[in-house]
Structures are given as C-alpha cells and as structure tokens.
Chains A and B, each alone.
Chain A
Amino acid sequence: MAMTTQATPPTAGGSLYIPTPARIRAIEDLTEFERLFELEFLDGHPLGHDPGQFVQVSVLGIGECPISICSSPTRQETFELCIRRVGNVTNHLHTLEPGAIVGIRGPLGHGFDVSEMHGKDVLIVAGGLGLAPVRSLIQYILDERSRFGRFDLLYGAREPKEILFKDDLTEWRESADVDFHVTVDRPDEQWRGKSGVVTTLFKGLPKLDPAETMVVIVGPPIMFKFVVLEVLARRIPQHSIYCSLERRMKCGIGKCGHCQANNVYVCMDGPVFKYGRLKAMREALE
C-alpha cells in the first residue's frame, strides 16, 4: 500500500488529539438510522484493538465522537464501526461515500478480557444498539471457537426494523458454533420470530454452570437491570458479569471529564466493566 505524507500518528512534541487518516472501504445500510462503515488506515497498519474498545471518529470541521468497534481484531486488515445518525458528526458520516477519508484516534479504553473467558462457557445478552460493541467479541469467539466452551447469544430489539446485522444473524442462527436467539418487543405483521423483552429468552437457556460461565450484558440501563437479575438468580458471581457503558466523551484519554460516572472515567477504566465494580457506581445504571 502506498505510504502517504498526510497526518501522522502522535509523536513526542506533537498532539495526542490529532487523528490518523483512515479510508472508508465500504458502507452498508443496517437500518433506517444505522450504517456499517468498514475502514482501513491509509498507512495500512491494523487497528490492533481488543473486543469492546472504541475509537474517536473525526470529520474535521464538524467534530469528533466516540464509536465502539464492532469487528473482531482477528479480522485484521480493516475494522468496522456501526454508526447511528444522532448528531452533527454522525449525520455527516452518513453523507460520506466509500473512498472518503475520516480521522481515527484509538483504539481507546479497556475492552473485554478475552483471556479470562478462555475455556469458559460464554453467554452474551445484547439489547438494541448494544449489539454493536459485543459484535467484536462475538466474532472473536467464533474465530477462536476452540478456546471457548458453550456459546449462547441472546439479542433483543424493540422492533423488527431496528434489528442490526441481519446477515450476521442469519449466519449465527445457522451456525453450530453458537446457540443464538432473537426477540423483538413489538413485532410487526411480517415478524415470524419470538416476541417479548430479551429476558423472556432465558427460558430457553440450558442450565448455566456458575463456576464456568462468563456473562456479557450490553444494552440500555433498564434492560441491563432486568438481565442482571436473571443472571444473578442463576448464581453467576458478580466478577463473571461484564457490561459496557455509553457516556459523552470528548478527549477519550481520561482528562476532559465528560464521561465520568461517579469516581470512574469511562473512557479509561471502561467502557467495559465488571458488574462487581459497576454496582458501586450509582450513576452508571441510572
């Protein structure tokens, strides 16, 4: 790949805040509001992230915003971001075409500790846009399948039209590597699947082994609370439950203060936390 003389990654005497240019390779519509962007750095270096980490995405002149990485580091050449248009930067990103250059800072924050999950059964419960950050972990587990035990994946969306990654869902449903179930809160006439909130899918789960199961819960706070109840009721210890938080972030490197939830800078200590830690952060789940 041709090297460029454009903005370089930060060096001593430079600025931590300068993003590295990355090219949009492909764009896919996921829903009316979400698009999947596949990106590669112009200098070809891999992002080198852990599942669950995030990047700061820049459109220079418009601004910058944090986006979780939704592809696995095991798929190295490019990385993917699922972007909902809700603000100035994300609206602008949705106007871009493949080939456009954006700025990336990262990977940032702490993701999932996959080594801790090795040899264990894994249960992932995702709600709404929460599927985006855990997709990096799902892909990772599928790519490194032999290193994990049983793998259950539950996904809940409000409506069928809000369901993300429909191609992936088809693949997961047919795969023998994962036991995958999806439900919607409000089914429409075409919907043939299960309906109800995501906790209703727990009825179909096999018995969880508290000592051998790691649970990952990512979704809106209200869903998180109900899922945690289900999981705790199955005697899963608090240190075996992970979750990922969303906060406002400006710097992404533990200085600007915007993402602070109680005594924790989500951008540095998170966005992935264990439930044992999270429950002491009162603001995290409010």
Chain B
Amino acid sequence: MQQRVVLAPREINADLLKNALKAPVWYWGIMALLGGIVLVGSVTAGWLFNKGFGVTGVNRPVMWAFLIVDFVFWIGISHAGVMLSAILRLSKAEWRRPATRAAEVLTVFSLMIAALHPVIHAGRPWRILYWVFPYDFSRGLWVNIRSPLVWDPSAIFTYLTGSALFVIVALIPDMAVIRDHTTGLRHKVYRVLAMGWRGTPRQWKLQIVAGFLLSALLLPVFVSVHSIVSWDFAVMIGVEGFHVTIFAPYFVIGAVHSGVSAVVTMMILMKWMFGWGNYIREEHIESLAKLLIVIGTVWFYFFFIEFSFALYGQEPQEVGLRELQAFTWPFWPLALMFILFSYIIPIPMWLFRRVRRNLPIMFVTSLMVNVGMWTERFLIIVPGLARKQPWTFDWASYHPSIVEIVLVITAYALVFLLLMIFAKLFPLIPLFDIKEGQTLSDEIVIGRRRVPALRVEE
C-alpha cells in the first residue's frame, strides 16, 4: 500500500530546491573532500601520461586490467537511468517519480567517467581521436570499422548524447521553477536555461510525449551499449572466457543489476543528505528491491549458464581458466566475494519485507552488489588474459599499481562530485513529476480503509 503524503506545490518547491538555493555547510565539506581526491587523481593521470603506461601494473599478456574493469563497471552503472526511467515511465509505474531524475543523471555522469577510462588506458589520449573518429582527412587514414573498439565509442557516444538530452529536456520545466524563485544573476542564467517555458498545455503535452518517445528510443540504445561492450571481449576468439556467445545479454542484465542497485544506494543517500523523507519513502526502496530480486535472479541464471556450459565441453583450456578463476590464489577469494556479494547474500535477504523497508540494510546490501559486480568484471578480464594462451609466448600475473588504485578511487569521487554539483544547480527529484503525481492522486474510502483510487485512461 502506498503511503501518500499530501504536499502543496509551494512545499514541494521549498523542499526540493532547498539544496539548489542555499546549500548547507556540510555540502561544501563533502565538495572539498571529493575535489581533493579528484585533484590527486588528475595529478596521477598526468604522471601516467608523462611517464608512460609502465607506471601501471599492466604487462604482457594482461594488457587490460583495472582501468578496463572500471570502464565496464561504470558502463554498467549507467544502465540504471534508462532501465528505471524508460521502463517505469512506459509502464506508467507511479513509484518511478522520485527515482527517474537521479537515475538519468547517474547514467550521464557514469557514462562520462566510463568513457574516460579507455582514454587514460590508451596512454596517449590525444591519439584516441585518430582511432575512433573518421576525421583524418589530410592523411587519408581511416578507422577500422571492423573493430569493436570503433563500435564501442559509437554506441557510447549515442547513449551519452541521448541520455544527456533526455535529462535536459526533462529539466526545462524545473529550470523555470528556479527562474521564478531566484533573483539577480542566477535569475538571468536560469531565465536563459528555461528558454521561456510558461507551462502551456501544449508545452506540457510535448513534455509528456517527449518523455515516452525518448524512453522508447533510448531503450534499444541501452541494450546495444552493453552488448557492444561485451563484444570488445566476445569477438576475441583467442582468449578463453572472452569468446562467449551469451556475453551480450549476460552483460546487459548484469549492468542493469549493478545500475539499479546503484540507484538504490543513491536514493537512500539523497534521502539522508537532503532530508527528502516525504519524497523518497520506504515504499520506493521496497519496490526497487522487488525489481532487483527479479533482475538479480535473471542475471544469476545467465552467470550459471555461462559458467556451466564452459565446463560442459570438458575442454582443458576452458576448464583450466575456470579453475584459475574459482580455485587459484589470488582469484578464489575474489570469486567467493563476487558470488556472495552479488547474489547469495543480498537477494535472499530482499525476500523479506522488513529488510526491503530497512534503509540502512538496503544501503549496505545495494553497495555489496556493486562491490560484487566490480569483482565479476575483474574476474572476467584479468584471469582470462593471465592464463597462457596458444600463441602467447610470455605471460605474467597482474598486480595493480598505486596509480591504478588511485585512478579507480578517483572515478568514484568524480561521479559523486559531479552528482553533488548537479544537486547544487538543479533539483535531483523532478518537481513537475512529483506535482503531477499529487494532482492525479486520489483516494477512496472502502469500509474503514482509505485506498488509492485507480485512474482510468479515457
């Protein structure tokens, strides 16, 4: 049963614009801390560019490691936005309203950060342009479109552009609210950003239609992005553990599992940080947890199929890789952590209503899923490359250097920093969506109970 709280538009504006109009002191403390981490990370990246890729732990044959693991991880997180926003919008799920904006913004920032990783990993980022964009008209050199390393940027570019535009279009009515609640320079800036929004029936209709239309257009892109990321690995026929036919759907559902978990973590943090108890309620987290039980179980099914079919053929190379991943030091503790954190611990816990409505437990378990999912990507990439392959004449183990560890931590800090900057400039919960929910909400009395009324489309 939904616990509806009746709020006037004025209250909704005051609550949700609180941080944007006047940020509390702790906000600046968090910004300083995150800014410091990002500064250290930037210096580290500069050091890497100056000294060369030798400052990382990457070595033959493990040429893809922490940075690529992190790339796949952040692409996965970016699948939260469209999954929640598009699917819940298209299915007209009422409980989507406080979650959509945060999920969409998380998509944009995590995609941006994900795209940074291969750029840094290239070692010479300025050359990336030559490799992925067909622009070198003077020398007549063109990119190799048969390579997944060209498909990947095209998919990410489409997804990033589409997601960013999705956020911007939905932000226009809210920018008009800030325009109407500010004075001076801020008013002038938001006046331009609101583009003259007045809230005519035509503008609202287009806003609603745009939400559905862009959702429908972004859904196939979202499926394609992680499919193509998986093909970075799956089309590589020489590496066991990479050349897997079900990698595309396995990666997509894994991305949704980690992305929706990240939205749960973020929503709980938003509720705690900004005091948005009237908007992000236990019922919202509970609904997300129910969704995660289904997503997590489907993902686990794909994992099981992938692992068991690899063993079914009894090919020595494949069996050897699985042994390395699951039973050999230093990978076996990671494998154990991965399976416990991604599925065995959180999903059975979420079967209980008391757990789903307990925010501290949901916060910890949703974080656990993402720790597990990061480890999963590590276990796919590093052991796969570390194992001796036919036609590989030298090989070594992999130990991450401090440079890679700092860059991974910086990625987390940078996403969080960007979200905090966004929260200072724009509302993280869509004001008009919440107001619409209030307008359309109605209750009827049945016996001694008041229950939400059903709205029938004419």
User: Bound pair: A and B?
Assistant: no
